Each structure stands twice: as C-alpha cells, then as structure tokens.
Amino acid sequence: MFLSLQSLSPPPPPPPPVPNMSKKKNPTMEVTGLSKKARSLVEVEDIEDTLSFSKDETLELRVALLDWYDINHRDLPWRTTTFKEEEEEQQKRAYGVWVSEVMLQQTRVQTVIAYYNRWMQKWPTIHHLAHASLEEVNEMWAGLGYYRRARFLLEGAKKIVAEGGRIPREASMLRKIPGIGDYTSGAIASIAFKEAVPVVDGNVIRVIARLRAISANPKDSVTIKRFWKLAAQLVDPLRPGDLNQALMELGATVCTPLNPSCSSCPVSEFCHALSIAKHDSTVAVTDYPVKGVKVKQRCDFSAVCVVELVVAKTLSEENQSSSKFILVKRPDEGLLAGLWEFPSVLLDGETDALTRREATTRFLKENLKIDIRKTRSVVLREDIGEFVHIFSHIRLKLYVELLVLQLKGGVDDLFKSKDNKTTTWKCVDSNALSSMGLTTSVRKVYNMVKKFKQKSVPSNHVPTKKRTRTSKGN
C-alpha cells in the first residue's frame, strides 16, 4: 500500500519516482483501490521522512487549531470549558468522555445528545452503571444500533468498580478494559487526564490526509499506523485533549468528506491537498483520502411472527390490557445479542408465503411449546407486509405476519407449558410494549401491526371458536 504526494511549489513539477511506504524495491507499484485520477497524482513518498510534520509546522498547526477550537467548538453536553485537577472531577469527566465517545462511534452527534443526557441522568457515575442490568442498558441504548457497544460499556464499568472503582489514567491501562481500544483510550486519557496521546478517527484521518496529501487507502493497516504517528506529532503536551478534539471538530464541521469549507479552515495554508488542487484542475481536495472499496452487504431474509394472545371476547377490548404479545430473547452472542424481539426465523433466501408460515409454525412449536394446530384457537393469521432493514454489513429483508391466538385458559395457562430449557421468552401487554426500549427493526414491526389493526380489524369482530384443525397454511 502506498502514499501519494505532490510538490507544493507552483507550478507543480512532473512527479518524480519515489520509494513506497513498505520500503520495497518496486517504486512504481500502483496503489490498490485508487481511481485513475488518484493514481495520476504522483508516485509514493516515505511517510516517516517527507510526510512528517516539521518542528515549525507542528508548533504553528497546534496554535492555529487550538485558537480556532477555542472560538468555534460546538457546545456539547460531554464537553467542559474548564479543566479541574481534582481527582473526583477527572473521574467524572472520564466517565462522561467514555460514554460519549462510545455512543458517537458510527452515530451522528445530534442523535447522540438526547441519548447521552438520558443515560447520564439514569447512571450519573460509573458506580451507578455498574449496578445496572444488561436488559436495562439495552433498553436505554435502543435505537442507537451496534448494541455490543452498550454491553462493553456495562462490562467495563463492572470490571472497574470490582477493581477499586477508579478509571485508569493512562491509555495503556485503559486498553485492558473490555471494549476500549486505541481510539477510546486515547480520548479518555487525553481529554480527562491530559495524557499526551493521539486520537485517530475518520475525521482525523481525513484532516491529516489532506494536510499531507496522502492518497493511500486509509483502511490499510500499515497506513492507519502511519496516521497515528502523524497525529502523535501534533498532540499538544499542555492541551492534548483540546488538540485532539480540535482535529476531530475540524473534520466534522469544516474539512468534511464531500463539501469542505477550505476558505474558513484555520490550517488551509498548511494543506498540501488544497495547494495541489489550486494548480491542477484534475485534482480536488476531496480526492484525499482515497475512497476504499465498500464491502458488499450480505443479504439475509427473516420471517417475523407477531404472536398476540387474546383472552377478551372481542379484539377491540385489547386496549384494556387483555391482549399480550410474545417477545423472544436473542442469544447472548452474535447480532443484537441479548435483545428482545418478536418470534423470528432466519430463512434460506427468499421464499414463498407458505414456506415462511411453515417455518414460523415450526419455530413456535419447537421453541415456545405453542402448537397452534392442537391447543390454541386461531383468531387471525395474516401476512401484513415486509420491509428491508440495513445493518452495517447485512441487508435484512423481514416478512411480517400477525398471529392472534385465543388462549384456552388465559395467559397463565401458557406459562404452565413453558420449558426453561428452550428459548427465553416473555409476554408483555401493549402498554408495556409501547414504552419498551426496542430495536429499530422491532419497533418498525410493531408499528406495522398497529397500522394493520387500525385499518383491518373491525371493532365488532368476534373471535371464532377454537379450531380443532387448521389449514396447511396455518
């Protein structure tokens, strides 16, 4: 993997051959994944030599970035304008930084603000969080996605409290906590404890790539290590946290991926990419860093069966808490680990309605001990729609059906047959379901059910008598 660098003196001279990043003998090898335009910029340059910031550049960049940040930083709830040396204040700040940085991974700032405020109101210190259950944490996290982050936060809090209750001050010690890697450890250590360590995220990579005109693939492991070295050069020893936040803030608000505001950038005079773009119309600042090839998403298909248990005489009475829904807990490992959802079956590709129905019927019998052909009265069973939910690496298509059952002996009768060795599940009424912290996809399913029932179920509908046999489709 290689880096590309243009000369800064106008007009730019023809690109000279230079050694590659890995210091092999082939200086003309092309950068994998680069567009034709990006390849034409120039050959590679050794990042540890030519691309490193000089001492004067480093000092000037620090001053420019900190001066800009002091005036232009966004007022966010996890940021404090003053730094207090008291241990308790630093611990409180470290906890806030930890929570905010984990939430901000793969999530927009405006979305995180409300979640952060609710979180800190419920668990204001790491000690409060350590006493929470995973279910409570997942409910608070619902809608943010990437639920492993929440689980790691809880596990980390429990570990810290069990070992004395003090968040480590050094990045090297922070990395020993579950879920804390180089980025989060650097953020906590520099912002809360003023340790002079760098922080590198997508925003920092973009800023540095443009400052030094680095057109190598930022996903490459060797290139990432080089970015960390460059970021480490810039860290201010007196205000490391503010410098790191300045770089991230600049990337988020000014040096953006598609529409950078170069005219208002405090470090534009140091930007090699901007200099190149001014003297070469075929090159744009946004060519840096190179856009990596996106990994193709896996396509999955799932049949979701919303099981509603009715003990009322009419469906219209369900708003009196006489109607309950079955929720199933997902496995403790894997996608959406430990979260609650409606009974679902992963399908082998796209299938017809009959195949999906047979799959959910089998799931209910084998996992929940509900044999609808023998012991339950089917009031309604109907396909109500489908939708696609996108995860980072999965495109999941969900087929949703509503199954309404009238119980023979009420909801309590259902629990008599509950087998603790099978899937973990529970019944909740509609009021509880509406207030639960559900994942985005589960919430979509429930909203589909509510809309369907509003349009399709007449207020005077009376359940049929218990069926001794059902059609094959049921």
CA 471 – CA 474 distance, rounded (Å): 6
Strands 344-347 and 340-341: unpaired
Instruction: For 375-400, give one letter per residue: b (16+ CB within 10 A) or e.
Output: bbbbbbbeebeeeebeeeeeebebbb
* 30 flagged as catalytic: no
CA atoms within 13 A on the CB side of 290: 28
Active-site residue, from 101, 249, 308, 401 = 101
CA 99 – CA 76 distance, rounded (Å): 13
- CB-based contact 389:398 (threshold 8 Å): yes
Q: Which residues pair with 323 in a beta bridge?
A: 310
CA 349 – CA 428 distance, rounded (Å): 31
CA 142 – CA 146 distance, rounded (Å): 10
Q: Which residues pair with 399 in a beta bridge?
A: 303, 386
Backbone angles phi, psi at 152, to 5 degrees: -65, -35
Question: Exposed, middle or buried: residue 107 (CB in 10 Å: 0-12, 13-18, 19+)?
Answer: middle
Strands 340-341 and 323-329: antiparallel
CA 314 – CA 297 distance, rounded (Å): 44
Q: Tokens 């409606």 belong to which residue?
A: 342
Q: What is the DSSP string of 280-343?
A: -TT--GGGSSPPPPPPPPEEEEEEEEEEEEE-SSSGGGGGGTTEEEEEEEPPSSSTTTT-EES-
State the catalytic residues.
Answer: 101
